[in-house]
Chains A and B, each alone.
Chain A
């Protein structure tokens, strides 16, 4: 096996293996020969300045952002006020890929807490990114575990959430048990707190389009 560096002109060059180009350098940049892979064994590729093209070189193929981290979910009402005085768990996680962010986590009120000044409907707020104004309700959340709400008669506990345009909150929805339709907003007062043996608990996940 022979590795050589070839530089036929002042503006082009290549690294060859057994006389064949593996990597070429010219005014357009660095190009790997067909069939050759780039392997980074210990250091990640830094494309943070501009992103990376996948599947093509159009703007629609550019992946220019990835991020993961945590956030702190909390309940609020129509006015954005924090109506819950104490939480047992507020665990939120996110993963952003391009303009989409997936959030998941759990929120659990404390049995020592209470509701204060609560009006209107129940939301999970403090999401890590603002939802883009898509003008419709196409982005929702799924609740995989729901415990100890106090729904009104003929209605279910929360079953789904809708991410609100131009906001960092999702509004909770429940089922109308009289007709099976999943279109009723959850009242903020349906949270169960301030009891010694029962407290509210909700596990969620969802994906939405973000601004910027």
Chain B
């Protein structure tokens, strides 16, 4: 088992923090009825159109809120001490979360491109953060999912004679 490079837990935590911050902003704007303006753009760049579209909710739950919950959970599993925990299940959970998140990002991107026909820069920043997290977690998975103490009972004992 190769150790996880030091930069990966830190990067994952910082990215989770960024995603949490943007999701928090979008959720607050959603529930306070504020107008989400894109920091730049024009033409097809239209944050308000995206965040007020029918696709801004999934099963009646605002996507912004789902994002906030997602990044809150990621923030917890990506706390640097959590990367020290030798647990295959934790690594699997982390991987499942970023794979699921990436799938949802692709769905949302499709909705923006083909249904809403507008791009929200705030949402795009969250998509980029999710993709970067996906890279960090996927590339570190082999090291973090190696056998750990939680399943040591399956280990083969050293033969001392």
State whether these chains interact: no
User: Which residues of A come within 8 Å of B, CB atoms?
Assistant: none
User: Which residues of B come within 8 Å of A, CB atoms?
Assistant: none
